[in-house]
Amino acid sequence: MPANADETEQLINNAEKAGADFIEVRLDKFTELGHLAEVASHGKTPKIATLKLASQCGKFTGTESQQREILLSAAKAGFAYVDVDLQGTNPKKFAEEVKSNGTKVIASFHNFTTTPAISELNRILDQEISLGGDVCKIVTTANCLEDNLTLLSFVAFASKRANVVCFGMKEAGRVSRLLSPLFGGFFTFASLESRAETAPGQLTIDEMKAAYSLLEV
Task: Give catalytic residue positions.
Answer: 110, 137
User: At what angle are helices 91-99 and 64-77 packed, to 10 degrees?
Assistant: 20
Which residue type sits at 26?
R
